[in-house]
A and B are shown apart, each in its own frame.
Chain A
């Protein structure tokens, strides 16, 4: 079975500051890793994914994440956030060969001027 831990339930940050949202996972098998963003009253939008290869993954809206197998982490980063980045961010894993996504509890990113 897989599990995901998002260590911060809420991260406040000022506009144009850098941000890191932390994600750790647990799995006995190989997994794919994902970050999704959810704006208020909307569904989930894929930000980026790690499937294989380079451990640094770049996504949409200037976000990137680094896969660290030894630390079982997949932290999300952005060098300079905008007000429009205010949303809920979910880290998710999926065992290779299966389609079920296992999500963390989410991190609310609050960007203020």
Chain B
């Protein structure tokens, strides 16, 4: 069973640029959630995708957007990067359906640095 993978591992961008982060969900999972973890903080929920549709969003501006593909992998896109976007971005996959409670499995994260 393949776990959750994320790419790239590290990324350095300049303020104002755009970035795309990728996540492959664990085999058999159909839901992907994205979290932002700033230095010294707990992860903050960005949004979740279920069957290619956004299914819940946290308190993040519209310049944070995402996609989920038919194979349940996912992308997180951030436009007009700001310095405060520097963080570890975590992807978590789970299996949603009639049976709860849908334990989330996390990937290793992508460390984004905005200069």
Contacts and interface: CB of A to CB of B under 8 A. Distances in A.
Contact of A100 (B40, B45, B109): B45
B28 interface: no
B48 A96 contact: no
B46 to A, nearest CB: 10
Q: How large is the interface on A (under 10, 10 to 19, 20 to 34, 35 or more residues)?
A: 20 to 34
Interface in B11-26: none
A105 B108 CA distance: 19
Nearest to B105: A46
Interface centre among A45, A51, A103 (most CB of B within 10 A): A103
A88 to B, nearest CB: 9
Contact of A49 (B48, B103, B106): B103
B108 A43 contact: yes
Contact of A46 (B44, B103, B107): B103
A99 B58 contact: no
A96 to B, nearest CB: 7
Nearest to A44: B106
A13 interface: no
Given A99-B31, A100-B48, A106 B100 contact: no
Interface string A33-56: 000100001111110010100000
B106 A43 contact: yes
Interface of A: 4, 32, 36, 41-46, 49, 51, 90, 92, 94, 96-106
Interface of B: 4, 31, 33, 35, 40-45, 48, 55-56, 58, 90, 92, 94, 96, 100-109, 111
The 8 residue pairs across chains A and B that have the minimum distance between CB atoms:
A103-B42, A44-B106, A43-B106, A43-B108, A100-B45, A43-B109, A105-B42, A103-B43
